[in-house]
Amino acid sequence: MQLVDYLDWDVSNCSVGRAVTLVGQPWVVLVMREVSRGLHRFKDIQDHLGISRSVLTDRLELLLAHGVLERREYREPGQRRRSEYHLTEKGRDLYPAINALREWGDKYLADPEGPSLLVSHHGCGAPVHTRLVCEAGHTVTPEELDRTPGPAARPRVNAA
């Protein structure tokens, strides 16, 4: 799709825009980072991020409402029932985007001595990378992508 053609299409139902409405909220990606790294308890996430209780509560409720996280109850002996937060399938499907942000940050924003975290495959120890790959297995660049209107595409209505 050429730029001129693209300008003729409505973007109000764009999946990127909808995703950013959720994950672009302050703290959401960092909460996801913490949960994906194994911090599941409210207090652990709060302490590690230095986030206020009310903001963390709001973000966890948002992620629960969108089905990105699930709440699991636990109880320490002699204590009241509490909740842990775990990634759902929907949350695990978001992880490549978080990993891509980490890789970009490692490449362009890390300290001079290097990144603060190295991510490798538990099974073989090789570094993990996020790449664009077509269903035929080819690694592609953004310049190699064709974009065509999908089934929900709508022509843009020009405001007069």
From CA 34, how far away is CA 63, in angstroms rounded? 13
From CA 51, how far away is CA 64, in angstroms rounded? 18
CB 35 within 8 Å of CB 86: yes
Name the residue range of residue 8's domain. 3-144
| Among 129-133, 134-138, 153-157, the least confident range | 153-157
Question: Is 90 part of a structural domain of the chain?
Answer: yes
pLDDT band (50, 70, 90) for residue 4: low
Question: Is 160 part of a structural domain of the chain?
Answer: no
* Location of structure tokens 């990127």: 16
Question: Is 158 part of a structural domain of the chain?
Answer: no
Amino acid 3: pLDDT: 60
Q: What is the CATH number of the domain that holds 79?
A: 1.10.10.10
pLDDT band (50, 70, 90) for residue 157: confident
| Contacts of 28 by beta carbon, 8 Å cutoff, 6+ apart | 22, 59, 62, 63
* Location of structure tokens 């053609």: 5
From CA 3, how far away is CA 1, in angstroms rounded? 7
* Location of structure tokens 């490449």: 107
Q: What is the pLDDT of residues 77-115, one digit of tens each?
A: 999 999 999 999 999 999 999 999 999 999 999 999 999
Round the average pLDDT of the chain to a whole number and report it. Answer: 94
Q: What is the tally of structural domains in the chain?
A: 1
CB 59 within 8 Å of CB 52: no
Question: Is 105 part of a structural domain of the chain?
Answer: yes
Q: What is the pLDDT of residues 19-74, one digit of tens each?
A: 999 999 999 999 999 999 999 999 999 999 999 999 999 999 999 999 999 999 99
Q: Which helix (H) or strand (E) holds 84?
A: strand 81-87
| Contacts of 49 by beta carbon, 8 Å cutoff, 6+ apart | 27, 30, 31, 34, 56
Question: Is 149 part of a structural domain of the chain?
Answer: no
Question: Is 72 part of a structural domain of the chain?
Answer: yes
Q: Is 78 left (phi over 0), alpha (psi -120 to 50) or beta?
A: left
Question: Is 153 part of a structural domain of the chain?
Answer: no
